[in-house]
Amino acid sequence: MILSRKSFLYKEIVVIERITIKLPFRYEASFQNEGCFLFMKDANTKITSVASSSTINHKEAILLKCGTYIVDWVNNNSNEQVEVIAFHLPSSILKEFYASELPLSFVSKKENKHITPIAKDEIIIKFIESLEFYFDNPELINDDILALKIKELILLLLQSSKFHNIQDLLSNIYSQNTFNLKEVVQSHLFSDTSINDLAKLTNMSLSSFKREFQKQYATSPGDYFLAHKIKKAKSLLQSTSLTIAEVAYEVGHNDPSYFTRVFKLKAGCTPTQFRQLQIVN
């Protein structure tokens, strides 16, 4: 749950936030006309997009392109409170800042990478720490300072090791991509993302997602995903020495016992028995 939220507005648009969260917490975010920079001050975080999933540890950051995301803040201590710093990068504001000319750094080859993790970086950490003064003294904030802070963040990111990914993100903000259902499905074919979450990522209701899926694949999402997971599991059992648990994780099942039951139901034998039969034959 969100315990507190302090925001700075640039011309009535939220651009910087300090959010205090009680863990665990799930948040569904949609950035249709903006990118977003998130700095995780404490908690470990899993972020799922239309194309992939990524885990971000404390004192690390992440860049998100325009799109829809499911964010899960996790921690062993469910009562712990953590802080997250968010920079919103709306296309309207960036175009205002760079009205005279689109910087070359904003032009790049488009890639299908929505999430860009940024490992612990002392310069970024110091920059985030410098914001505490303004959160403690909000009366000092004005549009000029906010513009400088956003530009400073962009310059720092462009000097980081993720230079090309940041180019791609900034370019994406200027020219938003759309992803169809098939692209989302293929990207998460062997992940642990639920059907309900896939529907959210495609901005559909669950019933609409299932109807559209049936039209395009002539089967239900559950049957389609399960068939591909079993097929891949069989291939891994035949060609690798991975343990049953490792095979389960590779095909998107976090519970090896459940994977074994499902595999037996569909294949007529357990994963262990299936592997032994391949050795005999």
Q: What's the number of CA atoms in the CB half-sphere (13 Å) around residue 202?
A: 25
% pLDDT > 70, the chain: 83
**Residue 86 in this model has a pLDDT that exceeds 60:** yes
Place 27 in a pLDDT band, splitting at 50, 70 and 90. confident
Backbone region of residue 252 per phi and psi (left: phi > 0; alpha: psi in -120 to 50; beta: other values): left
Residues 215-267 have pLDDT tens digits of 999 999 999 999 999 999 999 999 999 999 999 999 988 899 999 999 999 99
Residues 37-60 have pLDDT tens digits of 999 887 788 888 777 788 888 888
First to last CA, the chain: 55
Residues 120-166 have pLDDT tens digits of 888 899 999 999 999 999 999 999 999 999 999 988 887 776 556 66
**Residue 178 in this model has a pLDDT that exceeds 70:** no
Using CA atoms, how far apart are residues 50 and 17, in angstroms rounded to an integer? 24
The DSSP secondary-structure symbol of 114 reads -
Assigned token pair, 32: 């249709």
Using CA atoms, how far apart are residues 69 and 258, in angstroms rounded to an integer? 27
Predicted pLDDT at 18: 95
Q: Are 114 and 52 in contact (CB under 8 A)?
A: yes
Backbone region of residue 236 per phi and psi (left: phi > 0; alpha: psi in -120 to 50; beta: other values): alpha
pTM: 0.65
Using CA atoms, how far apart are residues 273 and 277, in angstroms rounded to an integer? 6
The more confidently predicted of residues 281 and 263 is 263
Domains and CATH numbers, the chain: 2-174 (2.60.120.810), 181-280 (1.10.10.60)
Predicted pLDDT at 251: 92
Nearest to 211 by CA among 200, 223, 219, 203: 219
- 62 SS3 class: strand
Poorest-pLDDT segment among 16-20, 69-73, 234-238, 243-247: 69-73
